[in-house]
């Protein structure tokens, strides 16, 4: 069917890439309820390229009925707009990009936490072997995938994918799919953890025996997915960093500080974990195994994996060391915007006393299990709460008799942490909540934290 009229839902980064894709090929109509908040220059450019812009959802139904294709941006809640994602005319940018590809292989990463780190690490490893000119890094990581496909063949597309992108996918089939973990997040959109899990699991639905699924069996939902995929049709590679709890049958695991490959329960050493690794904590060891397993699946030799890993640096605001002040080390983990992300950060320094800075905006997550666990964490010295979550966290800390202080902003939290810290302690900003109560994004919050730490004398 010839596409004459395209309705584009959402005019952010993804929507703009859709406009570029269909420019001169079809009539385009845009929808965005925040259009009036766009800059005057952006509004003017959009109005030049679109035949109309709808800003009121009540005016959307006739436009939707008249469209040959409805392209939804990941941030658009179709249910709220009364549009079914099962409608054959409804598509996301992921399927559009997959259809527009030339010969190439997709290596796709999804999970609640660690997606960006693992995507960048995997890309660095694949580049080390195949060369930068043959690797494209895109998706939820920042660069729209739709802008990158179709330029030449023989590429490796290393893509970070969100549940919002995957729940719209109907045709996407990665050569290698990585499932990292799943914990409370985006329940305002997905409503239940089952729905959230099934959105992530869609990535593997169309895989064939030629494709590979790399799955973290330390994670309960990863273990569930591995059982589902064990009977095929794709090749399953398991990985895990807790062999005493979850035995890997076929895949990568750790034996001490050594990465080993297990096949039918038999271990073969591959390489020693570099010391120091690019970041502290078991979750970074887990990210290493995930990226290594995916790289091995596309033929990257072990020396190339090690070379890339040794040169790799963590993306900003992910348990990133800032500086030492009076022998107290400060870490920026502003990207930790979920219960599980905060938990992993607070477990990353088992031999040091920790002062945790937590807060931000609530996404409706249940932090009770985390605070219950903190009562058993002997190296937790003090908690400082800021932002709109501060009162909720204060009530939980009071309930579990944890030492804490309630402040307003990150700057206040940094000053309070300095008062509580002693030489040798760790101060970590690991909020648990989003940044939108006081900042435009987690990166701005992280930069503010760094500035406040730099000002300490």
CATH 3.40.50.720 matches 5-88: yes
CB atoms within 10 A of CB 393: 27
Q: What is the predicted pLDDT for the residue at 103?
A: 81
Strands 426-432 and 328-332: parallel
Asked if 384 and 413 count as a contact pair (C-beta separation under 8 A), the reply is: yes
Q: What is the predicted pLDDT for the residue at 140?
A: 84
pLDDT at 293 exceeding the cut of 70 = yes
Instruction: List pLDDT tens digits, range 214-259.
Output: 999 999 999 999 999 998 889 999 999 998 788 899 999 999 999 9
Q: What is the predicted pLDDT for the residue at 225?
A: 97
Instruction: List pLDDT tens digits, range 66-97.
Output: 999 999 999 899 989 999 999 999 999 999 99
Q: What is the predicted pLDDT for the residue at 243?
A: 81
Q: Sorting pLDDT into bands at 50, 70 and 90, what band is 279?
A: confident
Task: Mention every residue, 6+ apart, whose C-beta is less than 8 A from residue 318.
Answer: 116, 117, 279, 333, 335
Q: Sorting pLDDT into bands at 50, 70 and 90, what band is 271?
A: very high
pLDDT at 180 exceeding the cut of 90 = yes
Asked if 180 and 114 count as a contact pair (C-beta separation under 8 A), the reply is: yes
Instruction: List pLDDT tens digits, range 119-174.
Output: 999 999 999 999 999 999 999 887 899 999 988 888 999 999 999 999 999 999 99
CATH 3.90.190.20 matches 320-454: yes
Instruction: List pLDDT tens digits, range 364-396.
Output: 889 999 999 999 999 999 999 999 999 999 999
DSSP letter for each residue of 365-407: ---HHHHHHHTT-TTEEEEEEESTTHHHHHHHHHHTT--EEE-
Look at the block and give the residue holding tokens 């938990």.
343
pTM: 0.87
Q: What is the predicted pLDDT for the residue at 187?
A: 67
Q: Sorting pLDDT into bands at 50, 70 and 90, what band is 189?
A: confident
Residue count (the chain): 457
Looking at residues 419-446, what average pLDDT do you find? 96
Among residues 354, 368, 336, 361, the alpha carbon closest in space to that of 403 is found at 354
Calculate the dihedral angle through the C-alpha atoms of 180, 183, 187, 193, rounding to the nearest 10 degrees: 90
Q: What is the predicted pLDDT for the residue at 387?
A: 96
User: In CATH, which of 1.10.760.10, 3.30.70.370, 3.90.79.10, 3.40.1190.10 is domain 95-311?
Assistant: 3.40.1190.10
Instruction: List pLDDT tens digits, range 24-70.
Output: 999 999 999 999 999 999 999 999 999 999 999 999 999 999 999 99
Instruction: List pLDDT tens digits, range 132-147.
Output: 999 999 998 878 999 9
Task: Give the start-to-end residue ranges of the domains of the chain.
Answer: 5-88, 95-311, 320-454
Looking at residues 270-297, what average pLDDT do you find? 93
Task: Mention every residue, 6+ apart, whose C-beta is less than 8 A from residue 411.
Answer: 448, 452
């Amino acid at each position: 069917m010839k596409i004459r009229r395209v309705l584009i839902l959402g005019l952010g980064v993804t929507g703009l890439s859709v406009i570029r894709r269909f420019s001169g090929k079809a009539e385009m109509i845009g929808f965005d309820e925040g259009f009036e908040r766009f800059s005057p220059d952006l509004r003017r450019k959009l109005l030049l390229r679109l035949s109309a812009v709808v800003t009121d959802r009540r005016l959307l139904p006739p436009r939707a009925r008249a469209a040959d294709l409805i392209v939804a941006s990941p941030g658009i809640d179709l249910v709220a707009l009364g549009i079914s994602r099962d409608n054959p005319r409804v598509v996301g940018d992921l399927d559009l990009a997959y259809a527009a590809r030339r010969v190439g292989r997709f290596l796709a990463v999804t999970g609640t936490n660690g997606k960006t780190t693992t995507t960048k690490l995997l890309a660095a490893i694949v580049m080390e072997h195949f060369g930068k000119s043959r690797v494209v890094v895109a998706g939820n990581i920042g660069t729209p995938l739709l802008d990158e496909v179709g330029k030449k063949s023989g590429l490796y597309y290393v893509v970070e994918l969100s549940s919002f992108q995957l729940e719209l996918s109907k045709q996407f089939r990665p050569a290698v799919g990585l499932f990292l973990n799943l914990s409370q997040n985006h329940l305002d959109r997905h409503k239940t953890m089952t729905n959230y899990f099934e959105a992530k699991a869609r990535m593997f639905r169309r895989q064939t025996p030629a494709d590979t699924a790399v799955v973290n069996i330390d994670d309960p939902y990863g273990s569930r997915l591995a059982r589902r995929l064990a009977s095929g049709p794709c090749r399953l590679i398991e990985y895990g960093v807790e062999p005493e709890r979850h035995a890997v049958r076929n895949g990568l695991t750790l034996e001490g500080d050594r990465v080993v490959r297990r096949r039918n329960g038999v271990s073969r050493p591959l390489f020693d974990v570099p010391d120091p690794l690019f970041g502290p904590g078991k979750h970074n060891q887990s990210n290493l195994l995930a990226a290594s397993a995916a790289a091995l699946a596309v033929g990257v030799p072990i020396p190339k994996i090690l070379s890339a890993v040794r040169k790799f640096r963590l993306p900003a605001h992910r348990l990133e060391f800032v500086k030492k002040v009076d022998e107290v080390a400060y870490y920026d983990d502003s990207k930790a915007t979920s219960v599980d992300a905060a938990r992993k950060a607070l477990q990353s320094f088992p031999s040091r006393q920790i002062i945790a800075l937590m807060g931000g905006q609530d996404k409706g997550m249940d932090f009770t299990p985390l605070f219950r666990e903190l009562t058993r964490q002997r190296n937790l010295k003090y908690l400082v709460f800021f932002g709109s979550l501060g009162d909720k966290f204060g009530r939980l800390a009071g309930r579990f008799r944890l030492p804490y202080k309630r402040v307003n902003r990150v700057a206040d939290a940094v000053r309070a942490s300095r008062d509580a810290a002693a030489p040798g302690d760790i101060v970590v900003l690991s909020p648990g909540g989003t940044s939108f109560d006081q900042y435009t994004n987690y990166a701005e919050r992280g930069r503010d934290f760094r500035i406040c730490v730099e000002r300490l004398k």
